[in-house]
């Protein structure tokens, strides 16, 4: 008998070896930078602040209670994972970076959450091999996750295989439209580029300049491999994996700046300026999706 797990475990890695190595190196380096960044504010988190955005708390919070089991895919160093644990969930965070998972475990220890938080060091596409047949009430993915994945069908398959029937999937992400925006040279303005539609065999390979969390950080020699996706592909992957889409929301704000001339508001969201002293409310910079694995 061949199980889903065998089939997927045996499939070829959708991430080319060079890309996997480069992105792993990058995330290990970024973890060391992010631990000390004002953006992540690890000290504030240790003191009790949540790292979750009001958006996620409002939209996913009602599905997370005492004892809810939650899987956080691509969890970086686990502050969001642990923030859900603080809200009562029993959480598992998974990330490709050994540095990040090491830090996540230390943080869990330090804030006394080790009993309800476990962390797995694995590439997303190897998740099945590490999680086995474990099912979760909630699968959570957020902010800058999908761009590292060339194959969303396999990603959505992993999401669906680890959800209980009736379970909830939630994604908050940078909008594909924002990913396709280019800076107009010499202006604090944007125009539309051509990285808008999926191109699985054509990664965007770029030298890394700092980090989204610390634009001045030194990242000499690091390179990122990323992939573009559109809403059609993201929704189609989830539907194809058997999930039912419950909502799609779009917002004119981003949790991190794309350019240093973007403007941050009191709630920490980043906006494009409208050139007249105000904020642009007419373009989508982020989106969220909630989907359900049908109960029957």
Which residues form the interface with other proteins (CB under 8 A)? 177, 184, 190-197, 230-232, 235-236, 239, 244-250, 252, 282-284, 287
Residue number with CB closer to other proteins (30 or 287) = 287
139: DSSP letter = E
Nearest-approach distance from CB 93 to other proteins, in angstroms: 28
Q: For the beta carbon of residue 269, count every other beta carbon within 10 angstroms.
A: 21
The residue among 13 and 183 lying less far from other proteins, judged by its C-beta, is 183
Instruction: State in angstroms the smallest separation of the CB of 283 from other proteins.
Output: 5
Between the alpha carbon of residue 193 and those of residues 36, 228, 257, the distances in Å are 33, 12, 18
Nearer to other proteins, 208 or 248 (CB): 248
Q: Residue 21 or 197: which CB sits closer to other proteins?
A: 197
Question: Rounded to the nearest 5°, which phi and psi values hold at 206?
Answer: -135, 145
* Distance of closest approach, residue 68 Cβ to other proteins, in angstroms: 24
Q: What is the DSSP string of 134-177?
A: --EEEEEEESS-GGG-S-HHHHHHHHHHTEEEEEEEEEEEE-HH
Task: Please say whether the beta carbons of 74 and 124 come within 8 A.
Answer: yes
Minimal CA–CA distance to 254: which of 203, 185, 181? Answer: 181
Q: Which is nearer to other proteins, 129 or 192 (CB)?
A: 192
Q: How far apart are CA 87 and CA 161, in angstroms?
A: 25
- Distance in Å, CB of 263 to other proteins, minimum: 17
Q: Label the pairing between strands 136-142 and 163-174.
A: parallel
- Both tokens assigned to 230: 């559109």
Q: Is 156 exposed, middle or buried (0-12, 13-18, 19+ CB in 10 A)?
A: buried
With tokens 């809200």, the residue in question is 87
- Minimum Å gap between C-beta 44 and other proteins is 31
Of residues 41 and 230, the one with the C-beta less far from other proteins: 230
Q: How far is the CB of 153 from other proteins (least distance, A)?
A: 14
* CA–CA separation, 250 and 170 (whole Å): 14
60 contacts 170 by C-beta, under 8 angstroms: yes
Q: What is the smallest separation between the CB atom of 193 and other proteins, expressed in angstroms? A: 7
Closer CB to other proteins, residue 64 or residue 190?
A: 190
């Amino acid at each position: 008998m061949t199980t889903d797990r065998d089939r997927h475990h045996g499939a070829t890695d959708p991430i080319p070896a060079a890309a996997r190595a480069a992105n792993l190196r990058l995330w290990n380096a970024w973890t060391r930078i992010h631990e000390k960044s004002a953006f992540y504010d690890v000290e504030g988190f240790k003191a009790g602040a949540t790292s979750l955005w009001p958006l996620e708390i409002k939209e996913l919070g009602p599905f997370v209670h005492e004892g809810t089991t939650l899987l956080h895919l691509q969890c970086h160093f686990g502050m969001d994972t642990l923030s859900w644990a603080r809200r009562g969930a029993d959480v598992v965070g998974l990330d490709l970076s050994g540095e990040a998972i090491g830090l996540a475990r230390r943080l869990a220890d330090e804030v006394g959450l080790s009993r309800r938080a476990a962390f797995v060091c694995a590439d997303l596409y190897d998740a099945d091999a590490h999680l086995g047949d474990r099912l979760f009430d909630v699968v959570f993915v957020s902010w800058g996750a999908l761009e590292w994945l060339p194959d969303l069908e396999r990603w959505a398959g992993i999401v669906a295989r680890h959800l209980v029937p009736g379970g909830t999937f939630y994604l908050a992400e940078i909008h594909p439209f924002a990913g396709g925006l280019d800076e107009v040279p010499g202006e604090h303005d944007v125009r539309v580029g051509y990285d808008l539609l999926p191109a699985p065999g054509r990664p965007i390979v770029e030298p890394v300049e700092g980090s989204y969390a610390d634009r001045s950080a030194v990242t000499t020699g690091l390179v990122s491999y990323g992939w573009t996706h559109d809403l059609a592909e993201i929704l189609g992957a989830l539907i194809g994996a058997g999930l039912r889409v419950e909502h799609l929301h779009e917002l004119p704000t981003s949790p991190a700046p794309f350019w240093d001339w973007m403007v941050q508001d009191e709630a920490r969201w980043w906006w494009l300026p409208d050139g007249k002293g105000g904020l642009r409310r007419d373009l989508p910079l982020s989106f969220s999706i909630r989907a359900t694995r049908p109960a029957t």
